[in-house]
Structure 1
Amino acid sequence: MPTTVHHRACHLCEAICGLRIETDGERILSIKGDPDDPLSRGHICPKAVALQDIHNDPDRLRRPLARVRGAPGEADTWQDISWEQALNTTAQRLVDIVQRDGVDALGVYLGNPTVHNYGMMTHQKNLFRHFHTRNRFSATSVDQLPHHLTSLWLFGHKSLFPIPDIDRSEYFLMLGANPIASNGSIWTVPDVRKRIKALRKRGGKLVVVDPRLTETAELASEHLYIRPGSDALFLLALINTLFAEGRVAPRHLEAFVSGLPELEAALLDFTPEFAAPHCGIAADTIRRIAQEFAQAGAAICYGRMGVSTQRYGALCQWAIQVLNILTGNLDREGGSLFTLPAVDQVSNIGPGGFARHHSRVRQLPEFDRELPASTMAEEITTPGEGQVRALFVGAGNPVLSTPNGRQLDAALEQLEFMVCLDPYLNETTRHADIILPPTSPLEHDHYDLAFHINAVRNTARHNEAVFDKPEGSLHDWEIFAELGNRVAELLGQPVQPVLAPHDIIDMGLQMGPYSERAGSAQALTLAKLRAHPSGIDLGPLQPQLPDRLQTPDKAIHCATPAALADLQRLRAEFTAGDSGALRLIGRRHVRSNNSWMHNYHRLVKGRERCTLLMHPQDMAQRGINDGDRVQLSSRAGSVTVPAETCSGVMPGVVSLPHGYGHNRVGIRLQTAAQHAGASCNDVTDDLALDALSGNAAVNGVEVEVALA
């Protein structure tokens, strides 16, 4: 049989690199970067090569599983069941519980892989249109919620993200981000190493602000250490300096930007001198950075996980965008620009909302009809009206990926019914009554709905499945459709017709900005994308304001009331001083992505990566040597991990990677269990939140470290 070359996007991180996959029948012979992809230009990272491991993984479930509960003192077992039984039972149990206890008795959690699979995004409504529960949760509130909230406040839409135009920039100020390891986040930027090198080669400057000398910081023109959780002070001091020195110049934005006098007055006391002792960056250095940023021909300020997942995440992201606005670097080539995707979700979906209702137990605000994931356990365990009694988990492992994972682990056993749409028996799904496994990623087609919104260049690409769908299997979208149909029948409602995801994309393309209907010469359709499997280049990002704004008056109101009110909390905390405790931060590796990349040999081979990085000074004070096993403890719990000497992490800071902890009883993850590591979320605190947004504060948690 002749070999076949398939074009494909790698879905394992936000970079969506184009691939060429060569197969011989059912065998994968090679996976290489596609040099004709206009976005990734032939680049791939080690994750892409592991796509074959995912497809061939013997631990990946191929049939639905039902849990058979053991007698007291005996372990539970699992048995294969038919799709008919699995879908019918799931629909019936969900309907029964909701009809008995109300719709809020159903909880829903959707994990990070949801946005990497467009069928999950297009078809979940087929099920959840029947259940308008307030108890919805997702990975958003342990990740990028502050980005969404800032975009809603300033630009009028939750998904209107300013994207760093690194390829044309002169000055890049980066906080709490490590794109060399992550390939970009809320910033689809494949081959970022070459882009950084090109920035510096043309005389540009990259300044990285981070508590650790990261892989990205090693490539920077300058690296500034900063104490975890103090980034908001640093950013506000930059803005204060702009006002104090008369360097505010919105330029082309001035006609539709308001609130600058109120902003200046609110930030009068957030001087570099106030920020310096708390963030560890000298006042003169803060002033210099502000001056360099304002004077640069085209500059970018961008921050990611380190500034989002902390106590002032929303304030940080708001300040970052205000800094870009005040210097005229928003909507400017070489600054930050908005994308114009071929299927434009900014035009196709609602803008989102905030604090329209609150959680039952802690009164935490919703965002986009989702509650903070940190409140999920208490909503399950606290009796009363609205208590979660049934839980649907889609493509998520919150036991490892949300704060105080052990608390959630225990709470899940109290549920009356739990169903998981997931290909693995993992730390979360082991609590399920039924697991519904979808097809392999290479067995369905692919279009990136999410990450074209964040891309450093406008492109579009659709790829067919590499392998045929196996007999007796269902795609993610088909599982949602089948469940939705069954629920409709049980409720006596009409069964709605279901379009395949690619048909929805075709409609989106033909209604989008590059369609014949819009007068575009591209005249994009699905057929045209299929004829260009490496993708179609739609050009560099372009200025689009004020037309692209989704605010009612097409204006940007910088004096956001909620953000200005939060300044009081920031001022009070740092006026009181620091406790002097060690602070925990996370870290990312290029071969990993959260908890779902550890069961593949190609991605976990080599030296142990789940170690606690500590500065030699902190180790010496505690009598700890390199390689010693230490106990890392917080209010929420403790774990035991090997310590690793690292002079690149600042004193007073320790770093543990995210997504490990594959040592729970009853999982079927052979490779991951051999590299189990420790879950940092057994130490992060469900009570530690950004009070403004409700996002989890998993960076900057106060911890203690001692010899185990």
Structure 2
Amino acid sequence: MTEQWQPSACILCECNCGIVVHVEDRRLVKIRGDKDHPASRGYTCNKALRLDHYQNNRARLTSPLRRRPDGGFEEIDWDTAISEIAAGFKRIARTYGGDKIFYYGGGGQGNHLGGAYSSAFLKPLGSHYRSNALAQEKTGEAWVDAQLYGGHTRGEFEHAEVSVFVGKNPWMSHSIPRARVVLNDIAKDPGRSMIVIDPVLTDTAKMADFHLRTRPGTDAWCLAALAAVLVQENLCDERFLADHVNGADVVRDVLREIPVPEYAQHCGVDEELIRAVARRIGTASSVSVFEDLGVQQGPNSTLCSYLDKLLWILTGNFAKRGGQHLHSTFGPIMRHTPEVGRTPVTGAPIVAGLVPGNVIADEILTDHPDRFRAMIVESTNPAHSLADSARCRAAFASLELLVVIDVAMTETARLAHYVLPAASQFEKPEATFFNLEFPHNTFHLRHPLMDPLPGTLPEPEIWARLVRALGVVDDAELEPLRAAARRGRDEFTTAFLQAMAANPELNKVLPYVLYETLGPTLPDGLRGAAALWGLAQRAAMTYPDAIRRAGHADGNALFDAILTSRSGVTFTVHEYADDFALISHPDRRIALEIPELLDDLRGLAAGPTPLTTPEFPIVLSAGERRAYTANDIIRDPAWRKRDGHGALRVSVEDAAELGLVDGGRARIITATGSAEATVEITEAMLPGHASLPNGFGVDYPDDDTAAPRVTGVAPNELTAAGWRDRYAATPWHKHVPARLEPVPADG
């Protein structure tokens, strides 16, 4: 490889596959997979090849903006922006209390590093309520995980004899390293099986040995029937349950009473197919399971998370090659704790430390004294991504202070009082904390490919300037740490520990301390990577043996390896027996009995409650992932080579009944709103089920002077905040009652 190729990573899904990039005049002119990346090993999908549409587009911001009294924006200098914003948040904290300041962000699919610095600004103000996109997806699963074993699990699909995907289409949404290679390997091997539970005939379902095509919203009955067959046909791993699981007998007593034929009818799947799948799972040498948004954003989502985990726990597919595993974390992105807090106004559950997105508007649009008064949004677009966008816009517009940090003028930024332009993900050191693999787990610090676009700043520098403006740290107190950092890692470690012990208040601004002291000593524009030093120390203390197996003597050695390994580094190497040590319960056993969910499981006996009505008879899945969708991180629609307008996919039967024409137009109407979309008629959809893709409905300028145009449908103009899971309040984006009407060609 010549010097013109630089290692980096794709930023369009959680895999963050390694890529190498040829840069010319700030353009990413050539992109291909990085063979040296320890996780992706040269693999990448088609989406990564279009990343220049993110890096170079007309939507980039290049100056701080302040809202004028007339509603427009004016450019201001950075010093003015920082001083006014800091003063504004201090006023909010002084007048109402710091807990009235709400933070939404922490990074998108590829930019978590900047968000690591946010706490240094928020904690001194007294702000502690926060949320991000994970509260729209993963908090129900996290609550279940916390009670079962206290951490997140991931399947070892590369080696699994049986792979189960529940509401998941990894051919398009990936989420596992080298997804399409792994899927093809499974499909080609007659000794292995792929099982898909999904109402849609997805690309993955077409490859599967078993496709359980459930009616929309009935996944819980299908999963319960599968688990019941495991118990009723004596397919459980008795030795594993006796040695490693508490509460198995209580769970099995409930499952023995389930009428499998009746549940098969409820979910629309043939009973013999359910039994065949359960037998395949129950007799396999290894099983891995992956659940995703198809069930996590639909009815009974938290119950589904519990039930799909029963499939691999009851059969003992834990702590073995090809099974399910707990794993190390480098920078934890969620708290796995069974304790649930409550939001200050609505009393909604706060799971994994995250306020549910579906209640944010209600926490603002009220005269309650504890309502959120101010908000800071970083690298995300909740006005577009949260349910009932119109109500979210009204809520954000009512705030006394809204500040947005982003690379583009997003729908949320248009509502802000101040907009701060961030450097792109390729103009600064960046990383993701989606480090979820076992036994080898990897971390990749991406070096900047170019300097920040003039007028922009990396988020760590933005947060540092805001902290300085608060005046909460005496700069003189940092001088000994700066001097120690210049002398070397070991001296810095000693000085740092002494400083934290002498002044515990510095812990509130810990990322800022590292940025200001260790940061200037880091090479090649990597000052923003300073916060990783603390995470490396914690990882070394948490997983000492696994860190050493990966070749790192201690936290400093790991940190240095991260800085110098341009294609990423394996930071832990676990042995399979380590899985049990990673269980957080004192007895290191899985706690299978969750009383609330067992009550819900018993309640399935009443059968599904129809959520559609004669007025809204179609189930709309709002936000399907397709070949050319990537949330809204790429706003330029030119990146899409097909499906450029985000077609509404409908079944052959519904099209015939409603008079819809392939390539024609349809109006989608829900209780919340309406929109028009191009129609695609496909056998992939069941009758009564339609889907819209994610990533559409954002605005983008046609040229440098034209007003922005919008391509496709913004799904959350159609979703409702009240449709949500009762445990985690995650939205039912994949189950929206709707009505479809043809739009005349001349209309």
Tell me whether the two structures share a fold, i.e. TM-score over 0.5: yes
Correspondence for 1:356: 341
Change (3 A) 1:671 1:445: farther
Counterpart of 2:436 in 1: which secondary structure?
helix
Instruction: State the Cα deviation string for residues 594-632 of structure 1 (Å, max 9, x = none).
Output: 12223252x224343412111111122122222332221
Identity of aligned residues (%): 25
Q: 1:454 to 1:129 in 2, by over 3 A?
A: farther
1: CA distance, partners of 2:417 / 2:351: 29
Partners of 2:226 and 2:274 within 8 A in 1: yes
Is the Cα–Cα contact under 8 Å of residues 427 and 667 in structure 1 kept in the other structure?
no
- The 3 A distance-change label for structure 1 pair 124 and 356 is same
Match of 1:201 among 188, 193, 196: 188
Which residue does the alignment assign to 1:314?
302
| Higher mean C-alpha displacement, 101-110 vs 384-393 | 101-110
Change in CA separation of 1:387 and 1:561 when aligned onto 2, cut-off 3 Å: same
Which stretches in structure 2 are left out of the alignment for 5+ residues?
476-504, 520-527
Q: State how far apart, in whole Å, the 1-side matches of 2:546 and 2:135 are.
A: 37
Match of residue 487 from structure 2: none
Q: How does 1:361-380 map to 2 (within 5 A)?
A: 361=346, 363-380=347-364
SS of 1:130's equivalent in the other structure is: helix
1:480 aligns with 2:463: yes
Instruction: Decide whether the 8 Å contact of 2:402 with 2:416 is kept in 1.
Output: yes
Q: Relative to structure 1, is the Cα distance of residues 336 and 659 closer, same or farther in structure 2, using a 3 angstrom cutoff?
A: same
- Kindly provide the amino acid, as one letter, of the partner of residue 236 in structure 2: V
Measured in 1, the distance between the counterparts of 2:188 and 2:546 equals: 42
> In 2, Cα distance between the equivalents of 1:669 and 1:432?
22
Kindly provide the CA deviation profile for residues 179-234 of structure 1, in whole angstroms up to 9, marking residues without a partner as x.
111122xxx323x1111111232321112121111122222223231112111111
Q: Please point out which of 151, 155, 158 is paired with 1:164.
A: 155
Q: Please give the alpha-carbon distance, in whole angstroms, between the structure 1 residues aligned to 2:549 and 2:709.
A: 53
Match of 2:576 in 1: 542
Question: Does residue 589 of the first structure (1) align with residue 635 of the second (2)?
Answer: no
Residue 573 of structure 1 and its aligned partner are, at CA, apart by: 5.8
- Judged with a 3 Å threshold, the aligned counterparts in structure 2 of structure 1 residues 668 and 451 are, in CA distance, closer, same or farther, namely farther
Contact persistence 1:463–1:530 (CA under 8 A): no
Is 2:35 aligned against 1:35? yes
Q: CA deviation at 1:442?
A: 1.1
Provide the rounded CA distance (Å) in 1 between the counterparts of 2:589 and 2:546. 28
Q: Which residue identity lines up with residue 531 of structure 2 in the other structure?
A: I
Match of 2:7 in 1: 7
Structure 2 counterpart of 1:696, from 713, 728, 731? 731
Kept in 2, the 8 Å contact 1:662–1:673? The answer is no
8 Å CA contact 1:59, 1:670 repeated in 2:
no
Q: Which residue of 2 aligns with 1:296?
A: 284
Alpha carbons 1:515, 1:522 under 8 Å: kept: no
1:151 and 2:145 equivalent? Answer: yes
- 1:393-404 to structure 2, matched below 5 A, reads 393-404=377-388
> Which amino acid is the alignment partner of residue 306 of structure 1?
G
Deviations along 1:462-502, one digit per CA (max 9) or x if unpaired, are 33211134565421122122223323449999886343442
Where does 1:59-70 land on structure 2 (aligned, <5 Å)?
59-70=59-70
Q: Which deviates more from structure 2 when the two are superposed, residues 551-560 or residues 541-550?
A: 541-550
For structure 1, which segment, 375-384 or 565-574, has the greater mean C-alpha deviation from structure 2 after superposition? 565-574
Structure 1: gaps (5+ residues): 71-75
Pair 1:324–1:577, CA change in 2 (3 A):
same
The whole-number CA distance in structure 2 between the counterparts of 1:150 and 1:404 is 27
Once residues 563 and 96 of structure 2 are traced to their aligned partners in structure 1, the CA distance between those partners, rounded to angstroms, is 48
CA distances 1:15-67 after superposition (whole Å, capped 9, x unpaired): 21111112346454422211222211212223323333322223211221112
Offset at 1:675?
5.4
Equivalent residue number for residue 505 of structure 1 = 532
Q: How far apart in 1 are the matches of 2:442 and 2:316?
A: 26
Rounded Cα–Cα distance in structure 2 between residues aligned with 1:149 and 1:491: 40
Task: Tell me by how many angstroms 1:132 deviates.
Answer: 4.0
Q: Which amino acid aligns with 1:391?
A: M
- Structure 2 Cα separation of the partners of residues 245 and 590 of structure 1: 41
- Contact 2:403/2:419 (8 A) holds in 1: yes
8 Å CA contact 1:400, 1:427 repeated in 2:
yes
1:400/1:659 contact within 8 Å kept: no
Give 1:517 deviation, angstroms.
11
Q: How many residue pairs align between the two structures? A: 687
Q: Indicate the residue corresponding to 2:321 in structure 1.
A: 333
The match for 2:715 among 674, 680, 702 is 680
Q: CA deviation at 1:315?
A: 0.9
The one of 118, 123, 127 aligned to 2:117:
123
Please state how far the C-alpha of 1:531 moved relative to its aligned partner: 4.0
Task: Give how far 1:168 is off.
Answer: 1.0
2:238 and 2:531 map into 1 onto residues whose CA distance is 40
Which residue does the alignment assign to 1:73?
none
Distance (Å, rounded) in 2 between the aligned partners of 1:275 and 1:108: 43
Whole-angstrom distance in 1 between the partners of 2:15 and 2:466:
32
Using a 3 Å threshold, how does the CA distance of structure 1 residues 572 and 400 change in structure 2: closer, same or farther?
Answer: farther
Which residue, out of 419, 435, 438, partners 1:435? 419
For 1:245, the equivalent position in structure 2 comes to 233
Q: Distance in 1 between matches of 2:385 and 2:374?
A: 20
Are residues 563 and 94 of structure 1, via their aligned partners in 2, closer, same or farther at CA, if it must alter by over 3 Å? same
8 Å CA contact 2:197, 2:212 repeated in 1: yes
Which TM-score applies when normalising by structure 2? 0.85
Q: What is the CA deviation profile of residues 237-287 of structure 1, one whole-angstrom value per residue up to 9, with x for unaligned ones?
A: 111111111111154453120111211223344332232222110222211
Retained in 1: the 8 A contact 2:217–2:735? yes
Determine the structure 2 residue equivalent to 1:631: 667
Letter in 1 for 2:165: M
Which secondary structure does the structure 1 equivalent of 2:442 belong to? strand
Deviation of residue 133 (structure 1)?
Answer: 4.2
Report the Cα offset of residue 519 of structure 1.
Answer: 4.4
Alignment-derived partner of residue 561 in structure 2: 528
What is residue 556 of structure 1 aligned with on the other side? 590
Q: Which of 429, 452, 458 is matched with 2:435 structurally?
A: 452
Supply the AA of the counterpart residue of 1:16. N
CA drift at 1:435: 0.5
| AA partner of residue 453 (structure 1) | L
Closer, same or farther in 2 for the Cα pair 1:517/1:169, shift >3 Å?
Answer: closer
Matched with 1:177 is 168
Q: Give the conservation status (yes or no) of the 8 Å contact 1:59–1:668.
A: no
Bigger mean CA offset, 394-403 vs 113-122: 113-122
Q: CA deviation at 1:365?
A: 0.8
Instruction: Say whether the 8 Å CA contact 1:610–1:677 is kept in structure 2.
Output: yes
1:441–1:563: structure 2 CA closer, same or farther, 3 Å change rule?
A: same
For the 8 Å contact 2:90–2:125, the answer to whether it is kept is no
CA contact (8 A) 2:215 2:268 kept: yes
Task: Report if aligned partners of 2:155, 2:322 keep a CA contact under 8 Å in 1.
Answer: yes
Partners of 2:325 and 2:438 within 8 A in 1: no
Provide closer, same or farther for how the CA distance between residues 541 and 635 of structure 1 changes in structure 2, counting only shifts above 3 A: farther
Secondary structure in 1 matching 2:533 = helix
Q: Deviations over 1:410-443 (max 9, x none)?
A: 2222222211011111211100010011112111
Q: For residue 8 of structure 1, what is the amino acid of its counterpart?
A: S
- d(CA) in 1 for partners of 2:273, 2:547: 49
Contact 1:114-1:121 within 8 A present in 2 as well: no
8 A Cα contact 2:16 2:110, kept in partner:
no
Residues 497-529 of structure 1, C-alpha deviation per residue, up to 9 Å, x if partnerless? 343442332343355357699644602433334
Inter-partner Cα distance in structure 1 for 2:458 and 2:696: 28
Aligned mates of 1:619, 1:409 — CA distance in 2: 34
Once the two structures are superposed, residues 68-114 of structure 1 have per-residue CA deviations (whole angstroms, 9 ceiling, x without a partner) of 132xxxxx322111111111111111121232223343222227x44
Residue type at the aligned position of 1:356? G
Q: What amino acid maps onto 1:462 in structure 2?
A: L
| Greater Cα offset, 325-334 or 42-51 | 42-51
Q: State the distance in 2 between where 1:543 and 1:475 align.
A: 41
